[in-house]
Amino acid sequence: MPNQASAAYDLSLFEPKPPGQTHGDAHRKGRSRKKNTAAAVRARITIRPMQAVRWAAVAAVCLAALGSIMVCNVQSTKLNDQVAAMQKKLAAAQADEVRLNMQQQSRASLGNVESYAVNNLGMQKTTPYQIEYIHINSKDKVVVQKSQEGILSRLYNWILEYL
């Protein structure tokens, strides 16, 4: 059985509308749009003093925010440049350190020390005739010096010997 509903479609919603008319206006066919009178236009155009102050305050805050962002960016750029310059100085100092360490090691090598001792100080390597051996026939002897102990400490030591 077919469904017998009494609802009808409102086809007026799909009809072309004159410019300036909205969707809500199609339902209000009985009402007409207000005509723009000169007084209504002047009322909309007039500038209220408090509104102007608010807009000026908002603009000042925006400009201050933009200015502070620009100052922060400038300082950040300056600091980044300083960091880069310091890194270059550090790299140069590290290269100098490596160069100086190698120079020191080359000067302090055993061959250089020996050459300096022979050429500048007149030293020579030892030869067999310069070596003298000392022979001692007596045995090593240990001599203990008597200490200046008090009577109590001697008595204590004597007791410890017998225990």
> Backbone phi, then psi, for 131, in 5-degree steps?
-90, 130
| Per-residue pLDDT, 32 | 46
Mean pLDDT confidence for 2-10: 66
Mean pLDDT confidence for 40-64: 82
| Percent of all residues in the chain with a pLDDT value above 90, rounded to a whole number | 29
Whether 1 shows a pLDDT value over 60: the answer reads no
**From 88-97, 137-146, 148-157, the region with the lowest mean pLDDT:** 137-146
User: pTM here?
Assistant: 0.39
Residue 93 tokens read as 């100092």
- Higher-confidence position of 149 and 53: 53
Dihedral over alpha carbons 37, 40, 42, 45 (to 10 degrees): -130
pLDDT tens track for 107-135: 888 888 888 888 999 888 888 888 888 87
- pLDDT classification of 7: cutoffs 50, 70, 90: low
Angstrom distance (rounded) from CA 75 to CA 70: 9
Angstrom distance (rounded) from CA 131 to CA 122: 19
Helix (H) or strand (E) holding 42: helix 38-45
Residues 6+ positions from 12 with CB-CB distance below 8 Å: 26
Mean pLDDT confidence for 90-100: 96
